[in-house]
Structure 1
Amino acid sequence: MNSTVSKSPLGQVPAPTAQAVAPATSAKALSTLLLAAGVAALVVITDQMIDNWAETHVLASWLALWAVAVLAIGALRGVTRLLAQNLMAGLDSWSAHVAHRRADQRLWAMAQNDSRMMRDLQTAMDRADDEDTPAQDINVLMSRRAARIVKSGMHYV
């Protein structure tokens, strides 16, 4: 072993990322809450249905409620897991969309105050618009750029 090379102790331990830990935990917690809510709702509905009969058959009604609870856990376990995973995936994509929109708004606000940044953004938008049909001469490129500036309302900048 080469004793002259020393490694940082921080470099040896990989840091867990919040994205790798949070989605599984959140989906599990949500799945558990949905399962508990579903089982509770089914037990309450069953209790309401056998209320008159339960007055004379206490032990049988107690066993029936437990049977409904166990069957509901077995039946709803997979459904609530899938529902929680789909809901978390939808919320994650919505959150990413909102963050992307906010970042674009902040970038646009900064570009309105900085002419170099605005020029870079306009060049990037021109390149993105022209990837399908690249312009052969400077006149076509400038006419496209002028049309885009007028269309997007950037002529005041």
Structure 2
Amino acid sequence: MNSQTHTSMNPLAQAQKPATSSKALASLLLSAGVATLVVMADQLMEPWAESHVIAAWIALWVVAVVAIAALRGLSRHLAQNVMQSLDSWSAGVAQRRSDRRLWAMAQSDSRMMADLQAAFDREDNEDAPAQDVVALSHRRAARIVRNRLHYI
């Protein structure tokens, strides 16, 4: 078994995927920022660069290195924020889709609707001790609905 196959089966490798996406986005943002600054510097130095080719070349390299150093942290931070925002948005979409599916299933199944209704009714009475197993199961159903743990 080669290492590539082994890492694709590893659940930890799948957990590192968001960090990889964030790093890729940070690299893309950094390269775009550096390219923009180098093009702007080239436009500013164009009249002067015709007579000083080597100095202009060195100046563009200095601009590129300084831009990499200056934009590295900013692009990483921006990429992490963008990825967190996208993850939150995606989780919200999945949450709403799950809620719609659960509600659609509950509308066609009277037992499920009764359980949901009982969970909503008993949600306020969670501070009182449970009297039997049925009360405990209703509290559990209410907790599942409230904490949105009913992904389908």
Fold equivalence (TM over 0.5): yes
Mapped to 1, the partners of 2:107 and 2:126 lie a distance apart of: 28
Match of 2:42 in 1: 47
The aligned length equals 120
- The Cα of 1:56 is off from its aligned counterpart by 1.1
* Structure 1 residues 95 and 19: alpha-carbon distance in aligned structure 2, compared to 1, 3 A threshold: farther
Mapped to 2, the partners of 1:116 and 1:18 lie a distance apart of: 41
User: Which structure 1 residue ranges, 5 or more long, are not aligned?
Assistant: 1-13, 135-157
Rg (Cα) greater in structure: 1
- The Cα of 1:124 is off from its aligned counterpart by 1.3
Match of 2:20 in 1: 25
Task: Establish whether residue 107 from structure 1 lines up as the match of residue 110 from structure 2.
Answer: no
Pick the aligned partner of 1:38 from 33, 37, 57. Answer: 33
Match of 2:118 in 1: 123
Q: TM-score, normalised by structure 2?
A: 0.73
Task: Establish whether residue 59 from structure 1 lines up as the match of residue 58 from structure 2.
Answer: no
Runs of 4+ in 1 over 6 A off after TM superposition: none
User: Which structure 2 residue ranges, 5 or more long, are not aligned?
Assistant: 1-8, 129-152
Instruction: Give the partner amino acid of 1:77.
Output: R
Pick the aligned partner of 2:92 from 72, 91, 97. Answer: 97
Identical pairs, percent: 65
Q: TM-score, normalised by structure 1?
A: 0.71
- The Cα of 1:93 is off from its aligned counterpart by 1.0
Mapped to 2, the partners of 1:20 and 1:102 lie a distance apart of: 23
Instruction: Give the partner amino acid of 2:62.
Output: A
Match of 2:140 in 1: none
Higher share in helix = 2
Task: Establish whether residue 82 from structure 1 lines up as the match of residue 77 from structure 2.
Answer: yes
- The Cα of 1:119 is off from its aligned counterpart by 0.7
